[in-house]
Structure formats: C-alpha cells, structure tokens
Amino acid sequence: MKRRHAVGLMCAFAVAVGPALAQEMEMETVTGIDIGKPGGRMVLAALGDPKSFNPITANETSSTDIIGHVYEGLISYDPENQKVIPALAKSWEHSEDFLTWTFHLREGVLWHDGVPFTADDVLFTFEVIYDEKIINPAISFLTVKGQKFDVSKVDDRTVQIKLPSPYGPFERAIMTGLTIIPKHKLEPAYRAGTFQEALNVGIPPEEVVGTGAFEIGSFLSGERVILVKNPSYWKQDEKGIRLPYLDEIVFVNTPDFSAMDVAFEGGKTDGHEYVWPDKYKRFKDRETEGNYTLYDLGIDLGDNHFWFNQNTGKNPETEKPYVEPHKLAWFTNLTFRKAVSHCINRQGIVRTVYRGRAEAIHGPSSPAMGKWYNPDIPKFEYDTEKAKELLDSIDFKDRDGDGFREDPQGNKIEFTFITNRENNIRERIGVIIQESFQEVGLDGRLKLVDFNTLVTAVADAFDYEACLLGLTGSDHPLSGLNVYRSSGRTHEWFPNQKEPATEWEAKVDELIEEFLAEPEEEKQVQIWHEVQRLYAENQPMSWTVNPRVYVAVRNKFGNVRPQVMRPRLLWNVEQIFVK
Amino acid sequence: MWTYILRRALQSLPILLLVPFFTFLLIELAPGSVLDVWKLNPDIPNEVIQQMSEKYGLDQPWFFRYVTWLKGALLHLDLGYSVSHKREVAPVIAERLFNTFLLALLATVIEWSLSIPLGILSATRQYTWVDKICSTIAFLGLSIPAVFLALLALLFAKVTGWFPLGGLRSIDYESLSAGRKVIDLLHHLCLPAIVLAASGLATYMRQMRGNLLDQLRADYLTTARAKGLSEPVVVGKHAVRNAINPLITLFGFSLSSLLSGAVLVETVMSYPGLGRTVVEALFSQDEYLVVAALLMGTVLLVLGNLVADLLLALSDPRIRLQ
C-alpha cells in the first residue's frame, strides 16, 4: 500500500516538473547524419498483427518488430559497425576478471507516461525474467551455464551485475535479451500473477509504456498499428533537434508478400522490406516512376540447407529406431555425405531459382556475418564426377543394373527428403537437388509436406530420412547457439543429444563453452572460425545458397541506410526524416 | 410461432455440440501443434516450450480439452484462450466479426436488391436485348472464380487509383467527421462487397428468371389474364410470389456461404475480417480460435435457415409453421 502511494506521488511530481526534468536529461548526440526536419509519417507493411505488447514474453516477429521501437534495453546495437552502443545505460565498465559489470544509467530518462526511469526498473525486469512462472525467451541469454546473474542496485542511477562465471559475449547478451519494462506499471499485474496477459494487444494504447523513440498510438486488429513520436526521447542531432524526426510510423497489416508488393507499387506504403530476388527486375524497372530506391543489402543471413536424419535413438513407444539401421549407416558415413554435398548444384539454383541474385554457401555462417564469417573452410563444390568417385570408394555401386546404387549389403540407396510445400523457392531447390541425385545413382526423392507436418517430423517424431529447410540467421553467433550445441533442440540432424554422438560434435560443444567464456572478441572470432571449419569438414548438412536482400524505400526520406540484420530499414528509425 | 422457434433452437443444439467435438478431433488428427513455430526457433529454450504445452493443456488428450472447453463455454460463456494471439478468444473474434458482418451485409444488399429485379426484368422481357445483357453478366459472374475476380478488382484499384488497396479504414480515419467516416468505410467496402456478391447475384438472378418463366407459362396465369387483371398485377402479385419461394430457401444458406466466401475475398483483398483470422488460426492450429469461429459459422447457418423458414411462411400462405 505504501509503495503504491509513493508511485502516485511520483506521477504527480513528474507531471508538475516534467519540462524541468527533461532539461536535465543526459542527451545523446547522434553525429554523422544528415540534419533533418521534424514531422511526417512513414507507412510500412507488416505481415500479420502484433500478438502482444509485452517485450518479455513476446516471441514472434510480428510483435517484436513493432514493440522494438517502444521499449529499449541498457545497450543497443549499431549494425553498420557491428558493435554495441549505449542506450538506457550511458556507459558501463567491468572488473578485471570480467565478472562484475557496472552500468551507469542515463540521467533524466522518462517513461512515456512521464515517470522517471531508475535502477528499480532494471531490477524489476531481471526479477520477472528470472521468474520460473514467466514463460520468456530472454532467459537463455541472461544465464551463464544455467546460472542466473546477481543483479544489485548501487544507487538510483547505478546497477551492478555479478556473473557466476565468465560470460564472453555478455554485452551482446544484454543487448539481445534485456528489454527494460516499467516497474510502476507492471508490478501490480506481476504480483497478482497476471503478467503474461498484462500487455495483450486489447489494452488501451496509453497503458503500453516504454522509453523508446515511439509509443503505441492506436491499434486496429487486422488493419494497422500506428506508432507516434515520443516527444521527450533522449537522442538529438548535431543541431540540437530532438529525435525522432518522424511524427508517426504506420504498420499496415498485409496478409502475404504479394499483398506487400501491391501495397508498395500502389503507393500505399513508403517502404518494402521484402523484395524477393525473383522480383528484383520488376521493382528495379519502376524505380524512377515510383520515385523510390531499391537498395541491395548484400547476401542474406538466413539460408536453405539439406541434411540427413542421423538420430540414433528409438521411438520410446514402439521401440523402433527412428531411422532404419542400414540407412543410418549411410547417413552417418562422412564420405557419403561429402558425395551428397557434391551433388548440390549451387550455381544452377542461383541461376534458375534466384535469377542470379543469390550466392553459393559452403558453411554454417553467412558471409553477411562480417568478421564472424570464416571464408577459409573446405568447400564441396558441385561436381557429380567427384560424387560418383566418392560413392565408388565406399563401395556404393549399381549392382543390379537399375541405374541406382546399392550399398555393399545390397540395399538400394533410396531416401525421401521433405520440405514444406508453402515455400515455392525451397520446392524448386529440392527439384534441382533431386535431379543431381538421380544423375549419380542415388534414389533421393523430394516430398512436399505441410509446415506443421515438417516441424513434427524434425522436432518431435524424428521419423524422416532427410530434410531441406531454411533458418533465419543473426549477425552474431550468440543467437542460434542451440543449432550448434549437440544438446540443442534445433541441432537439426540429431537434436537433444545426452552425450555428443561424435567426437567432432563433442569438440564443437567444448569450443562453444570456450567461446562463451572468452572475454576478448578477437579470440571469440577465432573460436567461431574454428567451429565453422569443423562443421564444413564434417558436412552434417549440405548448405545450398543464400539469396541477396533488397529493400525499396521512397526517395522522400532521408538518412535511410538499410542493413541486412533485422530490422532492416528501421534500425535507425529515429534518424529517418521526410525531406 | 414462438414454440416453433423454440423447437428449432432445441433441434440445433446437438449440431452446436458436435461441431466443436469434430473440430477438436480433426485438429488433433492433423500433425503438428500451435507451438510449432516456436519449436524451430533456436533461441527459445526447451523449458519454455514445455511450460507452454502444460499451460495450454496441449499435453492432455484432445477430448479432455474438449470437455474442459465445453464446461467453460456452457458455464461461463468462456470460449477459451488463443495461444497465437495470447489473449481470450472472444475479443479476438469480436474485433473481426463486425468487419465481416459489414462486408457480408453490404454484399447481401447488393445481391438481393439487384438479382430479384433483374431476374424479373429478364423473365418478362425474355430474348430481348435486356435479357441478353443480363444473361451475359450472369454467366460472367458465375464462370469467373471469386479469386480471379478479387485479383482483377485489386488490379483495377491499383491501376486507376480510385479505390484503396485493402483495409477497411484510411490511416486518418480517427480524425474524420462522422459523415466522412461513413464515406471512407463505403469507399473501402465497395470493391470487396461487389466481388463477394458477384457469384450470388448471378445465381439468384438466373434462378429468379427461370422460376418466373415457369410460373408465367402456368395455367393459373392465363386464367388471371382472362379475368382481365392487368399485367403488373398478374406478374407482381401472382407469378413473382410463387416464383420467389426457392429463393427464400437459398437466402437461408446464403448467410453462411457469405461467411465462407468472405474468407477468400478477405485474404486476397487484405480485408480485416474474421475469415483471415480463421485461416491463420487453422494453419497455426490455434484450436480454440478455430472452434469458436466455426461455431459462429454454424450459428449463422442455423439462424439463416430459421429466418428462411419464417420468411417462407410469411410469403406463402400454403405453408404453416407446425
């Protein structure tokens, strides 16, 4: 009761002396950008409605793409230079052993409702994230070796985080995982056990309170979300004009990508973040007419890859092995997998599926990852003669003259690889791969299944032979570590391993632990390069191609510098202005 | 009449119970679950998936979920929780139902206010140019699939710029005056409603024409004419009234078919209706949302048939509600 009273007092105080407080705000001056003028609106298309305004529990991009502009963390990210930059913490330092981190919070920052932001909000956020009853994805970033951080308040402006053990990419983890929420708004709901539902999209927009450059203006299900400018944001340009420049960002709900194309071409939207490579010409040709620029952001972080099911387990109910033993013997044979990699006609896929607007990939990390990418790994280029040689070398030969090879025990080499039918591009990649399989004498057949069927097969039932699928990537290895760990749920070819199945997987697990404990970024990079080399050498999967990424934006906007890392266009939204 | 309505309501109860039952069963039989999207995200820990599965009862057998749902629905009018929308099903449906209702209403008005007069016109002026034009339009409406028509409408809007590209309200809708708001809504509704009405319009027009032609050849009309009744009375009072009976029955079905037709039009034309929500829910296997939406459709079907029967009794004195 006493606490609530104090909050009430604080609100009154903030309203009364709001402008005075704003003057004391420690502003961050953004340098090196074009000076714009305030005002205007940008309309963008979004795929589907936001499902939640709760930054802790939201775990779908339709929500996070929007609330990412409403809430902030202690640390933010500059994708152009691949480095972390200050946000709600204006500076931070660490002890010599990297175990104690002290964050100095920005002075004078206000929540959208005028209440000052303090260290208590940071502590409250950690309390919520660490609560086992709160289902949230952030916790995987904010623990080290499964242990929580010790977070304490030094004073109203200083927070200290003590780590139980060294955590190398700690800054990145804080940047990715920690979004600060307002204690004064959410504590009652949290104590009442209704935190998960507290910020559902049905609540009045003014109840959604963050510190970000924009606040929720209105939401109409199925139609749009309007974000309006936060007039007392803590960034300014070199002339002292407060950012953001734009008054409003509007996200109109579009059901699919072709509706997005139409909305942009028809002038309804100002930007189009999903111009697929096969539509490059269509959009390039109308640049002048539509008064926009099509930006080439380079190769994508996400990819499409092919893998065999190497799960050695058994179905617990029927006691039947997930993969027939003789097939498992092929799939776990490195020479066989190398031969299959030689069958991936990457240039053919680039030419026919992407019309030349994609690049061949030979390892688990995309070249778009910059310094993290290791270009110097073994490559298994498309070469069917080489594939045939390799298959001959392990005595997989056509013994009965039917055009397909048999293993030494006489089993015909046949397998089905699945991909989801909703994805037209993947289907065409599958067809091209299938052709090469036939050519070298492997009876590998493409089977199209529904998305849900595919997920059940690869994540729950494990009753498939091979799969062609894509993952969206990140420009830092910390996101997606569960693909690399042998114990990970998304360690695709053999998930949830209790003990690493192979020596090299054990080695990767070790390297990941080393990576997580290594404070020097240069050494982290070296370790990550080593992980990629091990992957490429052991070909647990065959990587295909990564498409190029294109974004179209009308020419009337200034400071438009889209990046391949999401959010591609709006990462510097506060700098964008109408010319 | 009230006892008749009550009896009909009681008769439809089993349908209203069975539709959710089969929906739960079918969703269970389809592979995958509503958590699939999260299962493929490497950054979501196993524990989170486990917790969600327990929280929403997804680790329970499907009939448990059906019984729990039924209890909630009957005792508390609680339609359940939408996992993908992270909130109660009722407000999710309510937000969209009104939009679909608007669209369906306008489409119905277009369908019936045009099809009956045009049908009468082409029957009474059989084989004249009026009839030929009407028939051509009808055949076009019947033969062009709704998807294609929706795409054509979209192309038309894009090329001419006369109509908005999807949505129901302009971005500045909130700041408009009341009159401008209505105009804005109609402007957005126009194309989707025409597309949705097209096939129904054609069907009912042809139906009306055929029925009326049959009646016009009937002996009792010759009698009426011989008695010296004027042609408008002969057609309007006697022939049309007899010809319209099958159409009233069709009207009952049209309510629910409008809803299913709307799914398509809404998806292609980016209209914020219930149909799109349902399709998305089906693909993501968000079962409570699917159940609630199907229940809505069933209620409409039952209601539509009841209304049709009542109208039939009103228009045809030979039919009595027993």
**Residues B77-106: pLDDT tens digits?**
888 888 888 888 998 888 888 888 889 889
CB–CB of A544/A340 below 8 Å?
Answer: no
Burial tier of A83 (Cβ tally within 10 Å: 0-12, 13-18, 19+):
exposed
Percent of chain B at pLDDT > 90 equals 13
Question: A34 pLDDT exceeds 90?
Answer: yes
pLDDT of residue A245: 96
Phi, psi dihedral angles at A292 (to 5 degrees): -140, 170
CATH of domain A303-473+540-547: 3.10.105.10
Q: How much is the average pLDDT of A561-570?
A: 92
Phi, psi dihedral angles at B76 (to 5 degrees): -120, 5
Say how far apart CA B302 and CA B255 lie, in whole Å: 10
Nearest CA in chain B to A141: B43
Q: How much is the average pLDDT of B291-316?
A: 83
CB–CB of A545/A358 below 8 Å?
Answer: yes
**Residues ≥6 apart with Cβ < 8 Å to A166:** A97, A98, A99, A144, A517, A518, A519
Question: A3 pLDDT exceeds 50?
Answer: no
> What digits encode the pLDDT tens for the residues A405-464?
999 999 999 999 999 887 788 999 999 999 999 999 999 999 999 888 898 899 888 999
Question: A6 pLDDT exceeds 50?
Answer: no
Question: A21 pLDDT exceeds 50?
Answer: no
Chain A residues with CB under 8 Å of B39 CB are 455, 459-460, 489
Question: A237 pLDDT exceeds 50?
Answer: yes
Cβ of A48 and B154 within 8 Å?
Answer: no
Q: How confident is the model at residue B322 (pLDDT cuts 50, 70, 90)?
A: low
Phi, psi dihedral angles at B87 (to 5 degrees): -160, 175
Which of A59, A221, A453 minimises the CB distance to B96?
A221
Nearest CA in chain B to A44: B171
pLDDT of residue A9: 38
Question: A20 pLDDT exceeds 80?
Answer: no
Residue type, B311: L
Q: How much is the average pLDDT of A276-302?
A: 94
Chain A residues with CB under 8 Å of B166 CB are 252, 254, 259, 263, 268
Question: A13 pLDDT exceeds 50?
Answer: no
Q: How much is the average pLDDT of B238-261?
A: 80
Say how far apart CA B172 and CA B79 lie, in whole Å: 34
Q: Which of B56, B165, B172, B278 to mutate to test the interface with A (most CBs of A within 10 A)?
A: B165
Say how far apart CA B191 and CA A84 lie, in whole Å: 49
Q: Which range scores top for mean pLDDT: A169-183, B16-30, B203-217?
A: A169-183
What DSSP string describes A359-399? EE--SSS-GGGGGG----S----S-HHHHHHHHHHTT-B-S
Question: A10 pLDDT exceeds 60?
Answer: no
Return the SS3 of B185. Answer: helix
Burial tier of A233 (Cβ tally within 10 Å: 0-12, 13-18, 19+):
buried
Say how far apart CA A452 and CA A460 lie, in whole Å: 11
For A454, the token pair is 């595919």
Closest Cα in chain B, distance from residue A206 (Å): 16
Q: How much is the average pLDDT of B279-306?
A: 85
**Residues ≥6 apart with Cβ < 8 Å to A577:** A34, A36, A37, A38, A40, A245, A246, A557, A558, A559
A275 forms beta bridges with A550
Cβ of A268 and B164 within 8 Å?
Answer: yes
> What digits encode the pLDDT tens for the residues A378-389?
999 999 999 999
Residue type, B238: H
Nearest CA in chain A to B157: A266
Q: How confident is the model at residue A280 (pLDDT cuts 50, 70, 90)?
A: very high
First to last CA, chain B: 8
Question: A56 pLDDT exceeds 90?
Answer: yes
Say how far apart CA A269 and CA B166 lie, in whole Å: 12
Q: Is B33 on the interface with A (CB under 8 A)?
A: yes
Domain boundaries, chain A: 303-473+540-547
Which of B55, B87, B158 minimises the CB distance to A200?
B87
Cβ of A137 and B45 within 8 Å?
Answer: yes
Q: Residue A132's CB: how many other CB atoms inside 10 A?
A: 8
CB–CB of A566/A303 below 8 Å?
Answer: no
Question: A17 pLDDT exceeds 70?
Answer: no
Mean pLDDT, chain A, rounded, equals 91
Chain A residues with CB under 8 Å of B287 CB are none
Tokens 């009952």 found at? B252
> What digits encode the pLDDT tens for the residues A110-165?
999 999 999 999 999 999 999 988 888 888 899 998 899 999 999 999 999 999 99
pLDDT of residue A535: 95
Chain B residues with CB under 8 Å of A452 CB are 30-33, 36, 283, 285
Closest Cα in chain B, distance from residue A264 (Å): 10
Please calculate the CA angle A23-A574-A211 and round it to the nearest 5 degrees.
55
Q: Which of A242-256, A345-359, B123-137 has the lowest mean pLDDT?
A: B123-137
Which of A137, A221, A481 minimises the CB distance to B95?
A221
Interface of B with A in 116-155 (CB under 8 A): 154
Q: How confident is the model at residue B40 (pLDDT cuts 50, 70, 90)?
A: confident
Closest Cα in chain A, distance from residue B196 (Å): 18
pLDDT of residue A22: 45
* CB environment A394-410: b (16+ within 10 A), e (fewer): bebeeeeeeebbbbeee
Nearest CA in chain B to A225: B171
Cβ of A224 and B95 within 8 Å?
Answer: no
Nearest CA in chain B to A136: B48
Percent of chain B at pLDDT > 70 equals 99
In terms of residues, how long is chain B? 322
Q: How much is the average pLDDT of B16-36?
A: 86
pLDDT of residue A1: 35
Chain A residues with CB under 8 Å of B40 CB are 455, 459, 471, 490
Q: Which of A54, A60, A135 to mutate to test the interface with B (most CBs of B within 10 A)?
A: A135
Q: Is B92 on the interface with A (CB under 8 A)?
A: yes
Q: How much is the average pLDDT of A390-417?
A: 93
Which of A137, A250, A255 minimises the CB distance to B270?
A255
Q: Is B100 on the interface with A (CB under 8 A)?
A: no
Mean pLDDT, chain B, rounded, equals 86
CB–CB of A221/A252 below 8 Å?
Answer: no
Say how far apart CA A562 and CA A572 lie, in whole Å: 8
Q: How much is the average pLDDT of A286-315?
A: 94
Q: Which of A3-17, A29-43, A221-235 has the lowest mean pLDDT?
A: A3-17
Return the SS3 of A173. Answer: helix
Which of B86, B161, B168 minimises the CB distance to A223?
B168
Question: B184 pLDDT exceeds 60?
Answer: yes
